[in-house]
Amino acid sequence: MSDASRRSNLPPLALHVPEPKFRPGDAVDFADVTVPPVDAARRPDTSERADAFHDLAFGLVRVLDMDGTAGGQWNPRLSPDAMRRMLRNMALTRAFDERMFRAQRQGKTSFYMKSLGEEAVSIGAAAALADDDMCFPSYRQQGILLSRGCNLVDMMNQIYSNRGDKLMGRQLPIMYSEKDFGFFSISGNLTTQYPQAVGWAMASAAKGDTRIAATWCGEGSTAEGDFHSACTFASVYRAPVIFNVVNNQWAISSFSGFAGAEATTFAARAVGYGIAGLRIDGNDALAVYAATKWAAERARTNQGPTLIEHFTYRAEGHSTSDDPTQYRSAGEPNAWPLGDPIVRLRDHLIGLGEWDEARHAAMDKELSDQVKAAQKEAEKNGILGHGMHQPFDTMFEGVFEEMPPHLREQQAQMRAERASAGVTVGGNL
């Protein structure tokens, strides 16, 4: 009897195709999202072996409860001033996003990406890292630059690709690069920053430095090969790096199930590589701070890398090119059980008697005015509708330390062609 005959009584094989829970028009119910008490997760000593706390990759590290109180072993017990700085930086990020989103809708730039609902991921981490630690971001970590004091006009110049753009119009809007602020160039090729961060961290360790690296990607990008290569190298060499996976439930229009969320958590990827893994409430700025501080101490004391899954929600579309109403229920953002990161930290400070609604409203007005003034200053350098702003010659510069012969030849040919056409050689693109 053939093998096929012996299997004739079995049902045919079938593939499982993940389906999101809610589609446009559906009522939303996140009852299956488990939100454990704030004291449910223990805080291991940073010297503990990674295999001693696998449970933390499957739970949810929390500090702020939904009633505004803070508790549990992970409570960093920050001063009111430190928490107010974090609150202000989150509010500044939101004000910046709103102003630049509006600028794109007005045709002043081609593209923008908000971090609405995810501000705690960047702000909490920036507050916990040292200012000279190197960040390898994805495209929703503008809060790191804002926390580190990057000039708003410089950031807007890059978004407008205008005369003041230090990147000379060579990068897609929002793909900043700021060496002075330890902010590596953002790439549109997903997760290339992961092996780059590991390489930088390995170099720091090889030189006997004390600086560490931190990198971010979305949950969908964990399916990229670069993610797994980075985890392998970091595990083998115990690189001083923090891997941040921002699980905001959506990779453009694909829900997290396509990246493996139905099978296990994203923090669980750390278990297979033998590195520390934490799954945290990504809408809790204090939890983000505490987890990052803990991971940074592990890295700085040669305990190796940590993977942190930030369980959060992308409240806006993926970008200005995206319409989320076409693939998800409109009720999802408001129904997300972990709330809004700014509201949660605000309410905590109010509960402590260290903040109030009037001061919060005044802060929002001040930040809105600050961002508006920066926008006016940046637009003096030009916007998208004013045409291109960089001289033609610059297209050949900045790639090599010394321009190779073939590029010099092409540059000379371009100059000759433009001169014969009666166009000024130094003219703009």
Distance (Å, whole) CA 175 – CA 296: 25
The answer for 149, left when phi > 0, alpha when psi is -120 to 50, beta otherwise, is left
Supply the DSSP symbol for 148.
T
Residues 54, 85, 148, 327: which is the catalytic one? 327
- Tell me if residue 318 is catalytic: yes
Give CA–CA dist 134/201, Å, rounded. 9
List the one residue out of 68, 140, 86, 96 whose CA is nearest residue 310.
Answer: 140
Would you place residue 6 in the very low, low, confident or very high pLDDT band (cuts 50, 70, 90)?
Answer: confident
pLDDT value of position 343: 98
DSSP class of residue 323 equals -
pLDDT at residue 345, as a whole number: 98
Domains of the chain: 50-384 (3.40.50.970), 391-420 (no CATH)
Confidence at 393, pLDDT banded by 50, 70, 90: confident
Token pair 């501000």 in the structure block, residue? 119
Alpha carbon 294 to its chain's center: 19
What digits encode the pLDDT tens for the residues 11-38? 899 999 999 999 999 999 999 999 999 9
What is the spatial distance between Cα 328 and Cα 308, in angstroms, rounded to a whole number?
26
Question: Is 166 or 1 the better-scoring residue by pLDDT?
Answer: 166
328 is catalytic: no
Neighbours of 160 (CB within 10 A): 27
- Of the candidates 84, 140, 314, 348, the residue annotated as catalytic is 314
Predicted local confidence at residue 395, as pLDDT? 85
Sign of the alpha-carbon dihedral angle for 69, 218, 130, 147: negative
Determine what percent of the chain falls in helix, strand and coil, rounding each to the nearest 5.
Answer: 45, 10, 45
DSSP secondary structure letters along 181-198: GTBPPP-SSTTTHHHHHH
**Looking at 318, 328, 360, 389, which residue is catalytic?**
318
Query: Which pLDDT value is given to residue 418?
Result: 87
99 carries an active-site annotation: no
Predicted confidence at residue 389, as pLDDT, reads: 81
Q: Is the pLDDT reported for residue 404 higher than 60? A: yes
Per mean pLDDT, which range of 338-352, 355-369, 393-407 is the poorest?
Answer: 393-407
Distance of alpha carbon 317 from alpha carbon 101, whole angstroms: 11
Is residue 423 very low, low, confident or very high in pLDDT (cuts 50, 70, 90)? confident
- Under 8 Å between Cβ of 119 and 88: no
How high is the pLDDT of residue 392? 80
Over residues 298-321, the mean pLDDT reads: 97
The Cα 351–Cα 368 span in angstroms is 25
pLDDT tens, position by position, 43-73: 999 999 999 999 999 999 999 999 999 999 9
Instruction: Judge whether 304 and 238 are in contact, CB under 8 Å.
Output: yes
98-121 pLDDT per residue, tens: 999 999 999 999 999 999 999 999
CB-CB contact of 28 with 9 (8 Å):
no
> Is the pLDDT at 160 greater than 90, yes or no?
yes
Return the residue matching tokens 């916990």: 128
pLDDT exceeds 70 at position 358: yes
pLDDT of residue 390: 82
